[in-house]
């Protein structure tokens, strides 16, 4: 979601005559787009703002947007008095107001709903992967999570608006559509005129009809909202990639209950089985939190066991960090940092092993991959496999940026694959 927000902010400022620069000291406006989900990233925001303040041109405007902006609100101006703007995740379309009145302080952290989508200018050229948000906010109230506070309750965008965005993306360069939402598979929109209710499966069906679009995916999914119509898409729609991010967070039933994630492990496993029946080559990725309040050694071992059972690829694990406005922050039995670190190292190392073994299993296979562009050296092209692995290919006349190509995988390690383009 932050990648999408960043792209839209850049496009909006380009319309006002700005262009992007990598040099802080050249910039006329500097925007720090922030995430408040975990404490570590949040803590870095104010030290980064301090650095920006010292390095920027004296008259350059600077500010924060996104979830940390919403969380900090007016206190951000107290901490950094010369900050020019503080805009929450649903009001960054108000940014041009500061261009009109650069001497004011612009603060807007309202949860305005879907207004920003109507007010943002359309992008003239789409990247090869077009991120299309379909809903904002979340109605699940996981006890550790700040998202329901920073992004608000779930709101689904009108079906027609989303299709207009996917068509525009398809006509201006997109090859892959990635539907986005904090609870993407909770998408539900009822057209008042017809009374018809649309779900994510309907969006996938319609998008698959666009000739230029060759790959479709969506993230991030809540396990119990993997309804049968959506699972069925993996059986019937070949453009839907065989890869799904469906965070389990913990393998312990007790911890899941305290996290207020009210599904049983058996139900989660059943959903994975159904997905595999629909698409035998599907791979699943997950997010994990270790060291949730009260997590025992045995709870943690159960997380290791579920990782082993599902054989996740491409997963992320985090140390639990207490967040403001969340119930878990007030729970007793917070876990000492040293134990969290130990558990994280153990889980990470196992997830890396799973990734390496999946990567190695791809050697010798040919996969249709999407080119993301050259690497830093310019000698190679970076492709994405259908499983979101990075695959490095020597740049030759046969390779072509921003295109799909059949790549034969020739080598693999934990982090990436090597491959060559097939004729
Ligand atoms: N502490 C650690 N990790 C968290 N996440 C969300 N909230 C917290 C928290 N308080 C993780 C979850 C989620 C991912 C986006 O961030 O794993 O899926
Ligand atoms: Fe946060 Fe995801 Fe839980 Fe929603 S489902 S509250 S976004 S962790």
Which CATH number do you get for residue 130? 3.80.30.20
Claim to verify: residue 131 and residue 55 sit in the same structural domain:
no
**Tokens in use for 221?**
């999914």
Q: Which residue has the tokens 């090859």?
A: 175
Beta bridge partners of 390: 384, 416
Claim to verify: residue 72 and residue 192 sit in the same structural domain:
no
* Contact (CB, 8 A) for 320 and 340: yes
Q: Tell me what pLDDT residue 401 has.
A: 60
φ, ψ for residue 328, nearest 5 deg: -65, -25
CA quadruple 97, 99, 100, 105: dihedral positive or negative? positive
Q: Tell me what pLDDT residue 5 has.
A: 86
* 171 alpha carbon – ligand 1 mean position (Å): 36
Claim to verify: residue 70 and residue 141 sit in the same structural domain:
no
For residue 242, give every residue at least 6 positions away whose Cβ sits within 8 Å of its Cβ, in sequence order, or none. 234, 279, 281, 282, 283, 386, 387
Claim to verify: residue 149 and residue 274 sit in the same structural domain:
yes
Claim to verify: residue 273 and residue 213 sit in the same structural domain:
yes
3-state DSSP percent of the chain in helix, strand and coil, to 5: 40, 20, 40
Residues of the domain holding 259: 115-361
Claim to verify: residue 180 and residue 224 sit in the same structural domain:
yes
Q: Tell me what pLDDT residue 154 has.
A: 94
* Contact (CB, 8 A) for 270 and 295: no
∠ Cα 168 400 165 (to 5°): 10
Domain boundary among 337, 361, 385: 361
Number of domains in the chain: 3
Mean pLDDT by 10 residues, the chain (423 residues): 84 89 93 89 88 93 93 92 92 89 91 80 86 94 94 94 96 96 97 97 98 97 98 98 98 98 97 98 98 98 98 97 96 97 98 98 97 88 96 78 87 96 84
CA pair distance 412, 346, nearest whole angstrom? 22
Cis geometry, peptide bond prior to residue 249 (ω within 30 degrees of 0): no
CA pair distance 321, 285, nearest whole angstrom? 21
∠ Cα 145 150 156 (to 5°): 95
CA pair distance 317, 63, nearest whole angstrom? 30
Claim to verify: residue 371 and residue 226 sit in the same structural domain:
no
Claim to verify: residue 31 and residue 76 sit in the same structural domain:
yes
φ, ψ for residue 75, nearest 5 deg: -65, -20
Q: Tell me what pLDDT residue 398 has.
A: 63
Is the C-beta atom of 323 inside 6 A of ligand 2?
no
3-class SS at 365?
coil
* 235 alpha carbon – ligand 2 mean position (Å): 27
Is the C-beta atom of 287 inside 6 A of ligand 1?
yes
Claim to verify: residue 49 and residue 127 sit in the same structural domain:
no
Q: Tell me what pLDDT residue 399 has.
A: 62
Q: Tell me what pLDDT residue 396 has.
A: 74
Claim to verify: residue 259 and residue 138 sit in the same structural domain:
yes
Beta bridge partners of 66: 34
* 261 alpha carbon – ligand 2 mean position (Å): 9
Residue of minimum CA distance from atom 2 in ligand 1: 320
The closest ligand to the CA of 289 turns out to be 1
CATH code where residue 33 lies: 3.40.50.12160
Claim to verify: residue 101 and residue 129 sit in the same structural domain:
no
Claim to verify: residue 130 and residue 212 sit in the same structural domain:
yes
Q: Which atom of ligand 1 is nearest to the CA of 287?
A: 17
CATH code where residue 401 lies: 2.40.50.140
- CA-wise closest residue to 404 among 138, 209, 211, 233: 211
Is the C-beta atom of 144 inside 6 A of ligand 1?
yes
Q: Which residue has the tokens 């994405």?
A: 384
Q: Tell me what pLDDT residue 403 has.
A: 86
* Contact (CB, 8 A) for 154 and 136: yes
∠ Cα 307 312 316 (to 5°): 90
Q: Tell me what pLDDT residue 30 has.
A: 95
Is the C-beta atom of 37 inside 6 A of ligand 1?
yes
User: What count of residues does the chain have?
Assistant: 423
Q: Model-level pTM?
A: 0.93
Q: Tell me what pLDDT residue 409 has.
A: 98
Domain boundary among 108, 137, 170: 108
- Using alpha carbons, list the distances in angstroms from residue 245 to 84, 184, 223, 364: 37, 11, 10, 25
Q: Tell me what pLDDT residue 195 has.
A: 97
CA pair distance 181, 30, nearest whole angstrom? 26
């Amino acid at each position: 979601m932050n990648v999408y927000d960043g792209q839209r902010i850049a496009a909006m400022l380009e319309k006002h005559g700005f262009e992007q620069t990598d040099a802080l000291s050249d910039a006329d406006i500097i925007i720090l787009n922030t995430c408040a989900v975990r404490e570590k990233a949040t803590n870095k925001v104010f030290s980064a703002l301090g650095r920006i303040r010292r390095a920027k041109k004296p008259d350059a405007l600077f500010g924060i947007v996104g979830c940390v902006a919403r969380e900090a609100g007016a206190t951000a101006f107290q901490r950094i008095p010369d900050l020019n703007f503080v805009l929450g995740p649903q009001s960054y379309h108000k940014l041009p107001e500061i261009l009109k009145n650069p001497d004011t302080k612009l603060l807007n952290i309202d949860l305005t709903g879907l207004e920003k989508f109507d007010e943002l200018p359309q992008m003239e050229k789409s990247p090869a992967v077009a991120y299309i948000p379909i809903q904002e906010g979340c109605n699940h109230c996981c006890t550790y999570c700040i998202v329901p506070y920073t992004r608000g309750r779930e709101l689904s965008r009108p079906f027609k608006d989303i299709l207009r965005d996917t068509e525009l993306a398809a006509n201006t360069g997109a090859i892959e559509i990635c539907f986005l939402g904090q609870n993407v598979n909770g998408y539900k929109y009822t057209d008042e005129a017809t009374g018809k209710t649309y779900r994510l499966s309907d969006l996938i069906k319609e998008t698959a009809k666009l000739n230029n679009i060759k790959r479709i995916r969506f993230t991030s999914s809540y396990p119990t909202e993997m309804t049968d119509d959506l699972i069925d898409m993996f059986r019937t729609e070949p453009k839907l990639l065989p890869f799904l991010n469906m965070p389990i967070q913990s393998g312990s039933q007790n911890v899941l209950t305290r996290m207020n994630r009210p599904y049983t492990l058996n139900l989660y496993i059943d959903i994975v089985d159904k997905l595999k029946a629909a698409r035998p080559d599907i791979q699943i990725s997950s997010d994990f939190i270790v060291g949730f309040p009260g997590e025992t050694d045995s709870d943690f071992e159960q997380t290791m066991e579920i990782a082993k059972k599902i054989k996740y690829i491409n997963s992320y694990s985090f140390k639990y960090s207490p967040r403001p406005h969340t119930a878990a922050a007030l729970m007793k039995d917070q876990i000492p940092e040293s134990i969290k670190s130990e558990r994280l190292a153990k889980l990470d190392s196992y997830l890396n092993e799973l990734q390496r073994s999946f990567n190695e299993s791809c050697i010798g296979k040919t996969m249709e991959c999407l080119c993301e562009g050259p690497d830093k050296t310019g000698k190679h092209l970076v492709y994405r496999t259908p499983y979101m692995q990075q695959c490095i290919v020597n740049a030759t006349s046969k390779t072509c940026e921003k295109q799909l190509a059949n790549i034969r995988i020739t080598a693999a390690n934990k982090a990436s694959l090597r491959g060559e383009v097939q004729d």
